[in-house]
Chains A and B, each alone.
Chain A
Amino acid sequence: MNQNKFLAMLSCAALLTVVTAGCSQGQTQTTGGTTPATTDTKPAQTTDSKPADSKPAEMKTLTLLTGTTGTAYPALQAVAADAEKKLNIKIKFDIKPDGTEGDNLVKTRLATGEMSDILFYNSGSLFQALNPEENFVELTKEAYMDKLLDSFKQTVSSNGKVYGVPAGSSNVGGIMYNKRVYSELGLSVPKTWAEFIANSDKIKASGKTAVIGSYKTTWTSQLYVLGNEFNVQAQDASFVQNYTGNKAKFATTPAALRGFEMTAETFAKGYMNKDFLATTYDNALKMLAEGTGVQYPMLTSAVDALAANYPDKIKDIGVFPIPSDNASINGFTVWMPNALYINKKSKNVDAAKKFLDYLISPDGMKAYMSKSKANGPYVIKGINVPDDAYDAIKDMQTYFDAGKTAPALEFVSPVKGPNLESILIEVGTGQKSAADGAADYDKDVKKQAQQLNLTGW
């Protein structure tokens, strides 16, 4: 019979893929794991007994798992090149995909014991999902911990123990805008949502795209909701705690629901580019730089990408907070930098600690900044945003100086559902009302809370 033959062929193919997958797994393991182990086990023991500042006689090799999006990767490479000269530590980079596929890979490699010596990964709720106490080396008692801001430390801590050091600057979520077009149209920075709508109407009337939508890159749909967090915390200080404890909900907290309503209103009023469902993050940045699109709800980490691709346009780019309905409530929601964590199963913990120490030292940060300029203030005491920072970053400084900032929800609560971006695309394309979307998201976070075994869920 035809089918039988075909089935036989299919199972053959399935078997073959299993076999080849197994092989390739084995290969990465040897390149990632055994190379440093064979060269390093002996020197590691000899250098441990020496004082920290003396130079180890032999070169050590560490592996570092990182994604390649943005400027963090070249910046870490610059620090690594320095470390090779000064600390005699060689960093071998191990590349992972970014986004949810990367999350998946990190979890799998931790579970199978194949994690590299150092992991470069998000802080906040994504870090919490990695079961830190089991997987990472505790750094609470390291001398350099005093240098880090407490607001950052809490995002890389679990049960009061600190596990990570920051790479790069913090950044904020807000509305990036094209200053040149703003002044051409005689607009001023909006302090309330009503002013934002008025500005957007004028921009739309001028024939330009008022709000850039880039839903092809799905995570970009979330900025109204996530960036609205400052407004939520300003109006309801107990929201974070109640939300984590399964007492407060997005759908029933008016301040939190606003983010969903903003997403719906932007669509309903037709502010977005016509092909916003096929537009990617990179397309969106191009529109913003060229001024065909004027406002873009985004993280300021985009400033880096803009500077790299449109260096002559970067002075046109500014940023303002997601406006609330009350002009006196106006501030930024802050995203903490990603962090480096040391694998608990690593054979080179001491060398890895030295590298982390170097990274957050003034020399290390100087090397880092040579390849990645500030996207916001730094979370290391004594490291300041340099004077040559971009205009958009300087816009933010006044808010930081006035204390008008709040951390994004994912850095203060481990509860973050995986489907927020898809739900917001449903809301942002009119498939679902803002209230229904918020109610759906409230159900979505339940899965994460239960998976993390939080009390009250």
Chain B
Amino acid sequence: MTLSQKKMYSLFFLLPAGIIYFTFYLLPTVMSLFFSMTRWTLTKWTYIGFENYQMFFEETSLRIGFRNTLIYAVVTCGLKVILALLLATLLTSKIWFKDYFRSMVFFPTLLSTIAVGIAFSTMMHPTQGVINTALAAIGIPGPDWLGNTKLALFSVAFIDVWKGVGIATVIYIAGIMSIPQHYYEALRIDGGSKFRSFWHITLPLSRPAMNSVIILSFIGGLRTFDLIWATTRGGPGFSTDLIASIIYKQYQAGFYGLATAGNVILFIGISVLAFPLYMFLNRREVEL
């Protein structure tokens, strides 16, 4: 077989995937760039330049999403990175019922986000919820977890961490398990403590896993929608509105052009934040 024949052959096999990629990914991307600059009713459109973008940055009900999304992403990402590392260290050490605990940590990941959201909003009810009933029993007046405008965003972030920490833990466990045992042996022979083995071996050598966790949970945090929708719908007022929920609301209201502009902003925002982060983290990875 000649070289050119080989090329033809492989191109031919790429075609089906290529068509799917073009019609479902490339074409909509280009179209959304265009429609974000129009006032659009799904049947008719008027070109209005950058007015939609301007509106997104000017109006408080839209702008608030940028701040909230950033807070939410940083808080959930940070907590997941730290908690999952601690859990993974515990679950790779020699403890009883290790498998049982591992599955317990992973279990929330299997649940539907909407179901988790509804369950937690019931539990977090200020007067009838199980959390505040329990707190009241020991004499602490519990706050309105999802109703207090200063607290609500963090309550939802907490639910997100509870649900998402399992997958991060699994990634960490895989990373920690792949660290060759002889590093630990060497440290033991030199008389190093448990803490030193964590600090000087586990932590630096699980960096690839940590990078995956950071990137995945950060992007996940930036584009969260379902959990917010199941618990607060962006309320009270706009205090827990994230960019994704704001976009959804504009779409519901029939402002298709404005909603598309929001999606473009979200896309650019994620790229601008995630790519440099990814490069930065990758540079610091070390070979095993």
Within 8 A of A (CB), among B215-251: 215-216, 233-239, 249-251
**Which residues from chain B contact A2 at a C-beta distance below 8 Å?**
171, 208-209, 212
Q: Select the residue from A3, A100, A278, A429 with max chain B CB neighbours within 10 A.
A: A278
Evaluate contact between A278 and B127: CB separation under 8 angstroms. yes
Contact indicator per residue, chain B 190-230, by CB within 8 Å of chain A (1) or not (0) = 00000000000000000011001001100000000000000
Are B235 and A274 in contact (CB-based, < 8 A)? no
Contact flag A277-B147 (CB < 8 Å), given A2-B209, A103-B254, A418-B249:
yes
Instruction: Compute how far the CA of A100 lies from the CA of B55 in the bound complex, rounded to whole angstroms.
Output: 21
Give chain A nearest CB distance to B18 CB in angstroms.
14
CA A431 to CA B241, docked complex, whole Å: 15
Task: Name the A residues within 8 Å of B249 (CB-CB).
Answer: 100, 418-419
On whether the beta carbons of A451 and B235 are closer than 8 Å, the reply is no
The reply to whether B212 and A6 form a contact with Cβ atoms under 8 Å apart is yes
B103 adjacent to chain A (CB < 8 Å): no
Q: Which residue of A lies closest to B144 (CB)?
A: A277
Kindly list chain A residues whose C-beta atoms are within 8 Å of the C-beta of B59.
Answer: 443-444
Which chain A residues border B251 with CB–CB below 8 Å? 104
Structural contact, A131 and B41, CB atoms closer than 8 A: yes
Which B residues touch A218, using CB under 8 A?
A: 233, 235
How many Å lie between the Cα of A425 and that of B237 in the bound state? 5
Total interface residues on B, CB under 8 Å, equals: 40
Q: How far is the CA of A350 from the CA of B101 in the complex (A)?
A: 66
Q: Which residues of chain A in 247-305 are interfacial with respect to chain B, using CB atoms and an 8 Å cutoff?
A: 274-275, 277-278
Q: Among A129, A426, A451, point to the contact of B237 (Cβ < 8 A).
A: A426
B31 on the interface (CB 8 Å rule)?
no
**CB-defined contacts of A448 to chain B, threshold 8 Å:** 253
Give which listed residue, A100, A107, A429, contacts B236 with CB less than 8 A: A429
Given contacts A215-B236, A218-B235, is CB(A100)–CB(B252) below 8 Å?
yes
**Complex contact B212–A432 (CB within 8 A):** no
Q: Given A2-B171, A419-B61, A278 and B234 touching (CB < 8 A)?
A: no
Q: Tell me whether B61 and A440 are in contact (CB under 8 A).
A: yes
- Chain B residue numbers with a CB within 8 Å of A107 are 42, 254
Q: Across the interface, which residues of B come within 8 angstroms of A429, CB to CB?
A: 149, 236-237
Interface residues of A in 215-244 (CB under 8 A from B): 215, 218
Given A275-B126, A422-B61, A432-B237, answer yes or no on A129-B215 (Cβ-Cβ < 8 Å).
no
* Contact of A41 with B by CB under 8 A: no
Q: Does A15 contact B (CB under 8 A)?
A: yes
Contact partners of B127 in chain A: CB under 8 A:
274-275, 278
Contact B24 A15 (CB under 8 A): yes
Cα-based distance from A100 to B251 in the complex (angstroms): 10
Q: How long is the Cα–Cα vector from A451 to B259 in the complex, in angstroms?
A: 12
Separation of A431 and B61 alpha carbons in the complex (Å) = 13
In the complex, A250→B32 CA distance in Å?
35
Interface centre among B125, B208, B236 (most CB of A within 10 A): B236
The answer to whether B147 touches A451 (Cβ under 8 A) is: no
Judge whether A108 is part of the interface by a CB distance below 8 angstroms: yes
- Is A18 an interface residue, CB under 8 A from the partner? yes
CA distance A432 to B46 in the complex (A): 35
Write out the residue numbers on chain B whose beta carbons fall within 8 Å of the beta carbon of A108: 42
| Contact assessment for B255 and A447 in the assembled complex, using a CB-CB cutoff below 8 Å | yes
| B25 → chain A closest CB, angstroms | 9
Known: A101-B252, A107-B254. 17 other contacts (CB 8 A): A3-B216, A6-B212, A15-B20, A100-B252, A100-B253, A104-B251, A107-B42, A218-B235, A275-B125, A418-B252, A423-B61, A429-B236, A440-B61, A443-B59, A447-B255, A451-B255, A453-B46
